[in-house]
Structure 1
Amino acid sequence: MRKLMILGAGISQLPLIQTAKQMGLNVVVVSRQGSYPGFALADKIYYEDTTHADKIVEIARLEGINGICTTGTDVAVKAIGKVADALGVSGVSYEAAKLSSNKWEMKQAFLEYGVRTAKFVKVTSKEEAYHAFDALSPPLVFKAVDSGASKGIVKVSETGQVDYAFEEVMKVTKLDFFVIEEFVEGIEFGAQAFVYNNSIQFVMPHGDLMFYGDTGVPIGHYVPYELPDMVEEDIRYQLEQSIRALRLNNCAINADFILKDNKVYVLEIGGRAGATCLPELVSTFYGFDYYEQMVRAALHMSPDFQIHSSQPCACELLITDTDGEITELEDGNERHADIIQVTFDYKVGDKVRKFRVGTDRVGQIIVKGNDLEEALKRLEEVKGKIKIASM
């Protein structure tokens, strides 16, 4: 029986674990301890921080795995790279993982390969942060280079916000520096893609539904995302150059873009599939099981990315605006063919956090429609029949 190691046991990795089990694989799950739902499905569990790459390599050798993968998280990508290099299994290389997991190294690689991206500077102190206002054009974005899920990112419009932004970013980063970049005023959107055997298998641009706190955080997505032909060509070019710059191969791609004056600016590229229901949107839109293809690629089992459809669909996270304990959780929707999924991550009595970043989610909705307008309308209807209360 083939053995697959999956890094992470959280709600984002749960469907990947479920799919691997349905494929008849022996699944080894590695994650730090916690009440994560993926543990219940694993054939074997190792309680280990997925950022401890050398330890993950030791476990992979001990288990004699045939492949390794993750989804929805940046922090595990470097461990996948180390395992792929050490054991010769399919996956992103360690060099590529480092480039795509550190926003400072990523931005420098982008410059080398002519990728269009916002101007930026490296910052190690408050004094340098204040100097950034002279070197760059506000508003600016203070950004931890080693975090994910929109953590450690603060938009700053005036110098009076610098102290707060500096302290917030330094709380998150494990490093002694971060980057400050110009905020590109435009339309934020993203794309999912997969590169296998150095060939891009598909590129799926998607619209983003945003929540705005310290910065914009995606809480939903939709496809198709219609754009002029010249913009779609630019997306493809910027993505191809980004993949070359970061040496990405044999991995999913999660891309964040800004569109300004019909030009695509690359914010970040990750060597893994996106969170916030994005693998489900890929599966629904294209008509193939994206989680299955991720698993097949990790095991060199001839993944099939043949596109069978272009089904309009949309998704959104369920969130709460208060910290506290859930007092009410109700889905008042009747079963309908267009409602693909309504799930809750918690139950009444569980503690939840006010939404700030993607991991503060309470659940998710995924719907489809005959066209995008109908899918988005269905999304609003479903949301309207869901009750979440906490105190």
Structure 2
Amino acid sequence: MKKKKLMILGAGATQVPLVRVSKELGYHTVVASIDGNYPAFDVCDEIALVDISEPSAVLEKAIEFRIDGITTCCLDTGIHAVGYVAERLGLCNISNSAAEMCYNKLLMKRAFLDNGVPTADFRMVTDTHELYSAMDEIGFPLIIKAVDLQGSRGIYICRSVDEAVNGYNNVMPVTKKDFCIVEKYLEGYEFGAQAFIYNHDILFVLPHGDNTYMSHTAVPIGHYAPFDGDNQLKEQSDTVVRAAIDAIGLDNCAVNVDLIVEDNTVYVIELTGRVGATCLPELVSIYYGIDYYKMIAMAAMGENPAQVFEKRNETYTANASRMLLSEKSGRIADIMLDIPEDDRIYEVSMIVEKGSEINKFENAKDRIGQVIVKGKTYDDCEKLIQRIQNGITIILDQDIE
């Protein structure tokens, strides 16, 4: 019997688990990406070389490979192509209009406003004249934000006119759009949520805590569950997330939501129709005792993912993750690992080796590894992460010169 083909957009390390699980489910996997030395190419059945940020080019490859489903995880680059291809080929995933709103933060913010979803005040800016007008209307602090980038790239927190002008001048060369947005900087507590919707039924909304690193903006470097907010905050988050999903018109997909609470009001920063990165698929899997990648793959193939979620554990498992990062740039002279033996450690992985060039951490692309642990409470998890981090030593060439 011929296997059904699932096209997975993206070939990085974060797509490898989805490829492996899809193969375990009996699907023939086609990984789509530009050419390069990417790890998902090594584990898939076929490779489709294509720029996944170009929906029409991905559609051509989808037709060529005669796929039965299309999906992605942990990155936004191909999200527009997922909706574009799914709609034109009648596949099970988000619509093209929803995908466009996920990929374009301006369209997303407008949808939130039109549907009464709490979000920060904002202005569209196409030149410096409009930038100064936005500064006057919104006031400081504010955020300059590219609408089409991900991973905290193209986002600058600005507390003065000079910082805003510099932020604008940094954003415009890296965005593919001829505009950006300026929005009010909400000074509160950032957190997030993962959710899943299939056939218009939201199977769960799982709020989670975020650990951030302050670069030119707050960059998520870790997550944990259960969320430590009070019941009122959890209930408000659930309501807001459901309203945001409805405003964008998401269906048949995982959902990643960035949230912030200011003055006891939960606001949506942004959301997208795919699972979050930085170990968030594992967070959901460990918390519920399921394989979340199975739900993502099955939904894309039109198979009801609820049958996986229905087998979740009756009690939930606390867990936490953390990116490993460097405060300095340079070439690695040596890596020394002294990792404790502990069955609560789910994963410790390094994506660099001796001789690798690394950057001072600014965004997720600069991470050098990751840690995932589980435990009885978040405090247990955090203490274990600290023990693991204390056992990892990175020596750069300049450290021994």
- Aligned partner of 2:317 in structure 1 is 311
- Aligned partner of 2:381 in structure 1 is 375
- Aligned partner of 1:343 in structure 2 is 349
Offset, 1:228: 2.3
Describe how 1:207-222 pairs up with structure 2 within 5 A.
207-222=209-224
- Aligned partner of 1:248 in structure 2 is 250
- Aligned partner of 1:160 in structure 2 is 162
Normalising by structure 1, we get a TM-score of 0.97
Does residue 1:25 correspond to 2:42, yes or no?
A: no
Does residue 1:365 correspond to 2:367, yes or no?
A: no
> What is the CA–CA distance in structure 2 between the aligned matches of 1:118 and 1:364, rounded to whole Å?
31
Match of 2:326 among 300, 320, 328: 320
Is the contact made by 1:32 and 1:48 (CA closer than 8 Å) also made in structure 2?
yes
For the residue of structure 2 that corresponds to 1:173, the secondary structure is coil
> What is the CA–CA distance in structure 2 between the aligned matches of 1:133 and 1:349, rounded to whole Å?
45
Offset, 1:326: 2.0
Match of 1:331 among 329, 337, 341: 337
Describe how 1:269-288 pairs up with structure 2 within 5 A.
269-288=271-290
Deviations 1:30-72 (A, max 9, x none): 1112221111112111221101111111111111111111111
Name the stretch that deviates more: 292-301 or 225-234. 225-234
Normalising by structure 2, we get a TM-score of 0.95
Offset, 1:369: 1.0
Is the contact made by 1:202 and 1:305 (CA closer than 8 Å) also made in structure 2?
no
**Deviant stretches of 4+, over 4 Å:** none
Offset, 1:243: 0.9
> What is the CA–CA distance in structure 1 between the aligned matches of 2:337 and 2:267, rounded to whole Å?
39
- Aligned partner of 2:58 in structure 1 is 56
- Aligned partner of 1:260 in structure 2 is 262
Is the contact made by 1:119 and 1:182 (CA closer than 8 Å) also made in structure 2?
yes
> What is the CA–CA distance in structure 2 between the aligned matches of 1:327 and 1:300, rounded to whole Å?
49
Deviations 1:213-248 (A, max 9, x none): 110000001111122222222112111111111110
Task: Give ranges in structure 2 of 5+ residues lacking alignment.
Answer: none
> What is the CA–CA distance in structure 2 between the aligned matches of 1:35 and 1:352, rounded to whole Å?
17
Q: 1:222 to 1:5 in 2, by over 3 A?
A: same
Over aligned residue pairs, what C-alpha RMSD do you find? 1.2
Name the stretch that deviates more: 370-379 or 216-225. 370-379
Deviations 1:65-122 (A, max 9, x none): 1111111111211100011111111111111000111110001000000000110001
Is the contact made by 1:151 and 1:172 (CA closer than 8 Å) also made in structure 2?
no
For the residue of structure 1 that corresponds to 2:282, the secondary structure is helix
For the residue of structure 1 that corresponds to 2:171, the secondary structure is helix
> What is the CA–CA distance in structure 2 between the aligned matches of 1:384 and 1:171, rounded to whole Å?
39
Does residue 1:353 correspond to 2:359, yes or no?
A: yes
For the residue of structure 1 that corresponds to 2:207, the secondary structure is strand
Task: Give ranges in structure 1 of 5+ residues lacking alignment.
Answer: none
Does residue 1:387 correspond to 2:393, yes or no?
A: yes
- Aligned partner of 1:104 in structure 2 is 106
> What is the CA–CA distance in structure 1 between the aligned matches of 2:376 and 2:259, rounded to whole Å?
27
Describe how 1:61-210 pairs up with structure 2 within 5 A.
61-210=63-212
Does residue 1:235 correspond to 2:209, yes or no?
A: no
Is the contact made by 1:189 and 1:205 (CA closer than 8 Å) also made in structure 2?
yes
Does residue 1:44 correspond to 2:46, yes or no?
A: yes
Deviations 1:127-151 (A, max 9, x none): 2212222100210000000111111
Count of residues paired in the alignment: 391
Offset, 1:301: 2.1
Is the contact made by 2:198 and 2:304 (CA closer than 8 Å) also made in structure 1?
no
Is the contact made by 2:340 and 2:388 (CA closer than 8 Å) also made in structure 1?
no
Is the contact made by 2:50 and 2:61 (CA closer than 8 Å) also made in structure 1?
no
> What is the CA–CA distance in structure 2 between the aligned matches of 1:302 and 1:271, rounded to whole Å?
17
Is the contact made by 1:285 and 1:311 (CA closer than 8 Å) also made in structure 2?
yes
Name the stretch that deviates more: 168-177 or 300-309. 300-309
Offset, 1:21: 2.3
Q: 1:264 to 1:271 in 2, by over 3 A?
A: same
Identity %: 40
1:91 counterpart letter in structure 2: N
